[in-house]
Amino acid sequence: MGIRTFLLAALTAITFTPAFSQQEAQFSHNMFNNMGINPGYAGLRRAICATALARQQWVGLRNTEGERVNPETYSLHVDAPIPFIRGGLAVGFLQDQLGLETNIGVKIAYSYHHRLADGILGLGAQVGFLDKRIDFGSFEPITPGDPVLIGGEESHMFTDFALGAFYQDGSGAFLGLSAAQLRQAGGYLGESNYSLRRHLYGTAGYQYTIPSSPAYVVSPSVLVKTDMKSVQFDLNALVTYNKRFWGGVSYRPRDAMVVLLGVQYEEISIGYSYDLTTSQLGSMGRSYGSHEIMLRYCFELDLDKIQEIQRNIRFL
């Protein structure tokens, strides 16, 4: 009960200022995307896991010429525990399309695992490479002949780092803190100097089995993110039936109400979410909401058995 009390206090402490405006990619399946924001999570599931997310945000958003310009984001993260290095490794891929701007990123992470109380603490570090491209030639200049918009596609490669800590216990409670884009790498694209903003993430949650109906498990959680200029948070609640079907809601103030549905069959999990846009984009009829699909495959490992096989009496 101590860890749950601590997590509830953490939930209260990190949800104090609703706002938005984030530079890194955003997903409504944030409770399934811990690996995407926290390198300390690598390998903590004691399984080889691959998680893919595809998001179509603000469907219906178009420019003045009627062309579709809504953001599209795709990600894939694979992580696994590696016993002989006392931790886990992970690799991630991201493609984020924002109008005429394309971001393609690769991240590599390592997490050191340490048993703490009734759970495991993962301390992680990550290096990331981001290729940012902007097609200046496709812009429609307000001033004809604007020299900034003359030319074709330009790109710049950014290299940056992240750190994170993630703790989870056997009951399903968890707490994570991480910082991304620590170096705040910069570079020129056209006439503009672009720089990555440092992001901080805090996440916490737990699982509660309903005593009168043990087939139902309620999983509240929260994700808080800030770029040091604004703060945004997601409040989530999922209900899982028989460890197979789940449904839930999420609320992102001044942005969206989210409905989530999903199913797990053996090692495969499939989820879908729909964001009802509550910002002015929705009230003005410019957005029909956002769609997102999550696909996960996890192959569980019997790490205790692996460690037992590796023992040799010659070295006892």
Q: Structure tokens of 288? A: 């029909």
Q: What is the mean pLDDT of residues 255-261?
A: 95
Q: Which domains are present in the chain?
A: 2-315 (2.40.160.40)
Residues linked to residue 267 through DSSP beta bridges, in sequence order: none
Q: What is the mean pLDDT of residues 196-223?
A: 95
289 vs 128: which has the higher pLDDT: 128
Beta-sheet strands, E only, within the chain: 47-56, 72-82, 87-98, 101-116, 119-135, 153-169, 174-180, 186-189, 192-195, 199-205, 208-209, 216-226, 231-241, 245-252, 256-265, 268-277, 290-300
Q: What is the mean pLDDT of residues 175-183?
A: 96
For the chain, give the longest Cα–Cα distance.
80
Quote the DSSP letter at residue 6. Answer: H
Residue-wise pLDDT for 59-90, tens only, equals 877 766 666 778 899 999 999 999 999 999 99
Q: What is the DSSP string of 16-55?
A: -------SS---S-GGG-HHHH-GGGTTTTSEEEEEEEEE
Handedness of CA 264, 303, 204, 107 (dihedral sign): negative
* pLDDT > 90? residue 36: yes
Report residue 96's pLDDT band, with 50, 70 and 90 as the boundaries.
very high
Question: What per-residue confidence (pLDDT) applies to 101?
Answer: 86
Q: Are 75 and 36 in contact (CB under 8 A)?
A: yes
Percentage of residues in the chain with pLDDT exceeding 90?
60
CA proximity to 38, closest of 46, 30, 29: 30
Question: What per-residue confidence (pLDDT) applies to 18?
Answer: 39
Q: What is the mean pLDDT of residues 257-277?
A: 95
Residue-wise pLDDT for 143-153, tens only, equals 666 666 666 67
* pLDDT > 50? residue 2: no
189 vs 289: which has the higher pLDDT: 289
What gap in Å lies between CA 53 and CA 19, rounded to an integer? Answer: 24
142-160 burial, b at 16+ Cβ within 10 Å, e below that, comes to: eeeeeeebeeeeeebebeb
Q: Structure tokens of 30? A: 């944030």
